[in-house]
Structure 1
Amino acid sequence: MKKYFALLLTLLFLGCSSGSDKPGPEPADEGKDRSVMLKALAENIIVPSYDQFKTKFDLMAEKSKAFTAKPDAQALGEFRNAWAEAYIAWERVELFDFGPAEKQTIRNFFNIYPASEAGIAANITDPTSSLEVPASYPTQGFPALDYLINGLGANDTAILAQYSTDKDAAKKLAYITRVIARMESLLGKVMSEWKGEYLNTFVSKTGLDIGSSTSLMVNGLVLHYERYIRSGKFGIPSGAMANGIPAPEKVEALYIKNMSQILAQAAHSAYVDFFNGRHAVTGEAGPGIKSYLNALGAKDSGTGKPLTESINAQFQVAAAKLGVLKPNLYEEVKTNNQAMKDTYTEMQKAVRMLKVDMTSAMSITITYTDNDGD
Structure 2
Amino acid sequence: MKLFKYFITIILALVFFSCSEENGNIELDFSQTDMLGNYANNIIKPSISNYHTSVASLDEKTKSFVSAPTEETFDALSSAFLSAYQNWATVNAFQYGPALENAFLASTNTFPTDYTELEADIVAENINLGSVTSNNKKGLPAVDYLLFKDDKATVIEAFKANSFRGEYLNAVVADLLTKATYVNDAWSGDYAATFAVNEGNDPSSSLSAIVNEYNKAYERCKNQRVGYALGKNSLSGRSSPMSIEAYYSVNSLDLLKRNVTALENIFKGNDGVGLDDYLTAYYNTGSIQEDLSAKILNQFEVIHSKLDNCQSPFANHIEAQDETVEELYTEMSKLVVMIKSEMPSALSVKITYQDSDGD
Name which of 184, 200, 221 aligns with 1:229. 221
Which structure's CA Rg is the greater one?
Answer: 1
Normalising by structure 1, what TM-score?
0.83
State the match for 2:14 in structure 1.
Answer: none
State the match for 2:7 in structure 1.
Answer: none
Write out aligned runs for 1:127-142 (5 A): 129-142=127-140
Amino acid at match of 2:264: V
Note the residue ranges of structure 2 that are not aligned, 5 or more in a row. 1-25
Name which of 284, 294, 298 aligns with 1:313. 298
Write out aligned runs for 1:43-192 (5 A): 43-125=41-123, 129-151=127-149, 154-165=150-161, 169-192=162-185
Stretch of structure 1 that moved more, 169-178 or 52-61: 52-61
Equivalenced residues, count? 331
Aligned 8 A contact 1:61 1:180 in 2: yes
Verify: 1:202 aligned to 2:195, yes or no: yes
**Aligned-residue offset at 1:32:** 3.1
Name which of 290, 313, 321 aligns with 1:328. 313
Distance 1:120 1:160 in 2: 18
Name which of 284, 291, 299 aligns with 2:277. 291
Aligned 8 A contact 1:333 1:340 in 2: yes
Amino acid at match of 2:279: L
Structure 2 CA distance for partners of 1:365 and 1:105, relative to 1, 3 Å = same
Distance 1:272 1:330 in 2: 24
Distance 1:175 1:163 in 2: 10
Amino acid at match of 2:152: D
Structure 2 CA distance for partners of 1:203 and 1:88, relative to 1, 3 Å = same
SS at match of 1:238: coil
State the match for 2:233 in structure 1.
Answer: 241
Aligned 8 A contact 1:59 1:82 in 2: yes
Give deviations 1:72-111, integer Å, cap 9, x for gaps: 1121122112111211111111111122212212111111
Note the residue ranges of structure 1 that are not aligned, 5 or more in a row. 1-27, 279-284
State the match for 1:368 in structure 2.
Answer: 353
Structure 2 CA distance for partners of 1:263 and 1:298, relative to 1, 3 Å = farther
**Aligned-residue offset at 1:128:** 5.5
Structure 2 CA distance for partners of 1:67 and 1:360, relative to 1, 3 Å = same
Distance 1:184 1:358 in 2: 35
Normalising by structure 2, what TM-score?
0.87
Q: In percent, how many aligned pairs have the same letter? A: 29
SS at match of 1:349: helix
**Aligned-residue offset at 1:112:** 0.9
**Aligned-residue offset at 1:344:** 1.2
State the match for 1:269 in structure 2.
Answer: 261
Distance 2:127 2:58 in 1: 24
**Aligned-residue offset at 1:240:** 3.0
